[in-house]
Chains A and B, each alone.
Chain A
Amino acid sequence: MKSAITKLILALVAMSIVTGAAVAQDATEIMKKSHMAYYYAADDGVADVTMTIIDKKGKERLREFTMLRLDEVDGGNQMYYTYFKKPSDVSRLTFMVHKNPDGNDARWIYVPSVDLIKPISADDKNSSFVGSDFSYEDVSGRHWTLDNHTLKGDSTIDGKAAYVIESIPKEAYKAFARKVSFIDKETFMPLREEYFNKKDKLVKIFTADKIDVIDGITTVTLRSMQDVKKNRKTTVDFSRITYNRGITADMFSERYLKNPPRQYIK
């Protein structure tokens, strides 16, 4: 009798693990697809970006830059190159990232006023990107394998059917303790993300405000990140987006930091 119950319990536990794993698999699969669609669209891309940082008093700070991206391995290493145009006193300043999802990224900055290239420490991925509400990680993506994902159900965002997925970092993480993503069922674009701190308070909200199809690729062209606690917001507007320009890896070298590739930067 006793052993029968034990068996039953064991069976139930086993079943729940299996089904749980299946669901988790689903959620992880969705997040992977989303990550690939959002961060690894095409093989490379060029875009002009206008970033507006709006503080709690409504004051705006503007950053304009051109961004180049090359995927070395889909879902793996990537390279970013950023050429700043505005504010005008930082124009010609360039910035480069070699993203390595398995280890530390490498970042360099070129400071034109002193004609100096300097590495920038990249071990804090959560720090703010050029003073905006987006962190470096928000710009280049947090690898889906770092979190445990659970499908929490369905929802509708701006008339689009979405999966609701909860992600919890596998290792305690400063930036968030829990994230809820709303992933478009059709395009796998992240429509909305809510970040919660360890007290489970909502601290940051990401929204995809405008989605276009460019060269057949679904692209979020206007996005924003809101810092709920500080009552700040940053909007990022992408324009002149082009894909598959044939960017080569040698452009992401120190040489090009000083001499920007003019064919991509206007």
Chain B
Amino acid sequence: MRKGLTEFSIKHPWTTIMITVAITAFFAAQFPNMKIDTDPENMLPENEPNRVFDMQTKEDFDLSDFIAVGVVAEDGAFKPDLLNRIYRITGEIEEIEGVIVDDILAPSTVDDIRQGSGGAIVIRTLMEDEIETQQEADYILGRIKANPVLRGKLASDDGKAIAVFVPIESKDMSHRIAAEITEITKKYGGNEKYHIAGLPVAEDSFGSEMFSQMAYSAPAAMLIIFLLMILFFRNMKIVLAPMVVAIMSVIWSMGLLILTGNTVHIMSSMIPIFLIPISVLNSIHIISEFHDHYKKYKHKDATIRHSINELFVPMLFTSLTTVAGFLSLALTPIPPVQVFGIFVAFGIIMSWLLSLTLNPAIAMLISNKTLHNFGQTDEEHGPLSKLMHGFRNISGRRNLSIIGAVLFVVVVSAVGLSMIEVNDNPVKWFKKSHPIRQADEAMNNHLAGTYMNYLVFAGEEDDMLKSPEVLNYMEAMQNELVKDEIVGATTGLSDIVKKVRYELFGGDPADGVIPDNQDEVAQMLFLFEMSGGNPDDLFKFVTSDYTKGNLWVQLTNGDNQKVSAVVDRATNFMQDNPPPVGINVHWAGLPYINIAWQDKMVTGLRKSLLGSYIVVFFMMVFLFRSVRWGLISMLPLTITIMAIYAFIGYIGKPYDMPVAVLSSLTLGLSIDFAIHYIQRIRTIYRRNHDFNEAFHEIFEGSGRAIIRNVLVIAIGFVPMLFSTLVPYITVGAFFLAIMVVSGLVTMLLLPALSKTFKRTLFVAKKKAKAEVVAVQTQNA
């Protein structure tokens, strides 16, 4: 197997190419069946209890996801002209396909409960028609402020902001509908600013921007990697092979993903961007080896055989460790992350296979003339070599200082790690300058919040929500929740009952209380329905059988950490004040769903990271047949993970979904250089059992290969740093950091350790020599 594949490729290059092209064509043919899924809710399995409850809540109360449209005018939004334009804008929004017209919340659609002539209770549309005078505008603002159901939601108390909530049939329409709303606001807009916010928009827009970023990032990274490789190897034809390998492994794994009926989720859309560099890494080692030895052998097939032979084991293990890192994602309880892990792992194995077959096959087809000058460049005196010689000098002479410095870094990192804060907010996946981020900020500064959570009070019997005890409990919970800085408003059945009672008794605040008997509650609600109140409005807060009540908890911040604090506050409150007998309280809503899957993700990924760390360690012990070397090989990986995550801790970047998932990448990639280093230095050492020779030589061929890898991948990902989407920037920064840190640690610490502990690490000369001889005779 080890030699067979490559041997076949060397002897039958065309057949090899034809086979791989055919397989590629097969998988590429699956692409038209691609199904895209940008719903972060799918981060939870469909039968996950929190998700099931959320779905049930939406159905019980006929709730929809909504887009929040904010109008901010610093000189005051309550002016006849602006209100009339919002009136017209709302009218046009009603015409948009996919908007649930009856549930739109806007000055021209919401009902207000007020006193009519003769003390009558009137429930009427707040702004029934266009208005003419400033008094009318002021009146509308006054009514909003006087209505607990509308206050802060529809307008800011200072009258500078007005919100229109647009419920939509399905979340995946929000990007399109948001764009249509923008068109409308442009048509009517004046000096005031229009903002479009809300989790569905952020999530759906992220999905659609992500795919366009994908179409730009992956090819851009590819191009830069390609150019850098041409620069390093000065031979376009040879460099083409790794590119083909990378593209093919992407097509194979994406094709299989589609073929197996999986949807392309936010996570899996990142498969290409992960696979391309990982795939290129192997090829660079092969080409480096080929490049460095071609001048010696001057025969393609001999050079290829030599290169593959030298690299087979380290490449196998670097691939296997990366596979282990990604496969561990399959153990997390988050389906899209599982799919991502499995198919990246598959892609890595395929790219390993292709590097061993397609690379040689393509190399065989390159004419000797093209290769004539290949490897002739004066590598020994090139800049890369100079750099490596510098490394050699430092790690050779200052080995103890390096070890000391690394220990210092470890201690500093340990402190940084303790500062990591787990947090996520899909809105913050956009850069600060992005309109969605700005809308989020502007609207949540002025209004009661664009993040809607629901706290469901589920009774075991009909009419339980009419009970004063339950309503008083709900009111107490509201009073507790609003103490939280991010709770902008809470609205529940309690508020409607109190408002009706307040208006019934003629507007004395002392009457705006929850009645003390159930019949009175029922009659207040009946009065609401008799007075023109829309029953559909009522049933957003209570089911028609009065079994379940729904408290709307509006948040000005969607950070998981902050949302969790609100959830904890409710939990603590319930511990101190148990709910009335027969009432169960549970959360629903998108912000809650987000913290639910974040919890699972953090604990799940911690476990899987730890698991694969151990697996990789055993792989290393097995590979090097030595616990000592096994431990040393884990150092670059450990330090890289620590340093990167400590950095995240220090700069205060939240540990979010992308950061969490990238731990598997860090684990899988950071060990690669160590494998190459240890494998090679030991091979060289075995040749003559001369440590100084091995120490000297490791900084030549292998060192150059490693530094080429560092440069190619690190620079290749620079374009991603300019993405508008934060997760893309994060991924780019991680690749860069992994390469630089693990490269540095490998080429500084490992030599320093090799030198310091050469006696214990490079022992049993005779025994080892005997082994090598035995192997050699065997091979011969």
Contact = CB atoms under 8 A, between A and B. Distances in A.
Interface string A155-196: 000000000000000000000000000000000000000000
Contacts of B520: 113-114
Interface string B512-540: 00010111111100110111101110110
Interface string A101-140: 0000000010111101011110110011011000000000
Contacts of A123: 122
Nearest to B522: A89
Nearest to A128: B535
A113 B517 contact: yes
Contacts of A116: 504-505
B532 A128 contact: yes
A127 B532 contact: yes
A211 to B, nearest CB: 29
Interface stretch (B113-121, B265-273, B627-635): B113-121
A121 B531 contact: yes
Contacts of B545: 59, 61
B523 A89 contact: yes
B123 A111 contact: no
B523 A90 contact: yes
A87 B529 CA distance: 14
A95 interface: yes
A131 B535 contact: yes
B385 interface: no
Q: What size tier do the contact residues of chain B reach?
A: 35 or more
Given A111-B504, A131-B529, A230-B536, A118 B119 contact: yes
Contact of A89 (B119, B519, B529): B519
Contacts of B121: 118, 120-121
Given A61-B544, A124-B124, A230-B102, A112 B531 contact: no
Given A113-B519, A128-B532, A93 B526 contact: yes
Interface in B97-139: 102, 116-124
Q: What size tier do the contact residues of chain A reach?
A: 20 to 34
Contacts of A95: 530
Given A119-B119, A121-B120, A124-B124, A113 B523 contact: yes
B532 A90 contact: no
A128 to B, nearest CB: 6
B625 to A, nearest CB: 67
Contacts of A61: 544-545
10 contacts: A61-B544, A89-B518, A116-B504, A118-B120, A121-B117, A127-B123, A127-B531, A128-B532, A128-B534, A130-B526
Interface of A: 53, 55, 57, 59, 61, 84, 87, 89-90, 93, 95, 109, 111-114, 116, 118-121, 123-124, 127-128, 130-131, 229-230
Interface of B: 59, 102, 116-124, 463, 466, 504-505, 515, 517-523, 526-527, 529-532, 534-536, 538-539, 544-545
Ordered nearest first, which 7 A-B pairs have the shortest CB separation? A127-B532, A89-B522, A113-B520, A121-B122, A131-B529, A119-B120, A131-B535
Given A89-B466, A89-B522, 13 more contacts: A53-B535, A57-B59, A87-B522, A89-B463, A111-B523, A118-B119, A118-B121, A120-B121, A120-B530, A127-B532, A130-B529, A131-B535, A230-B536
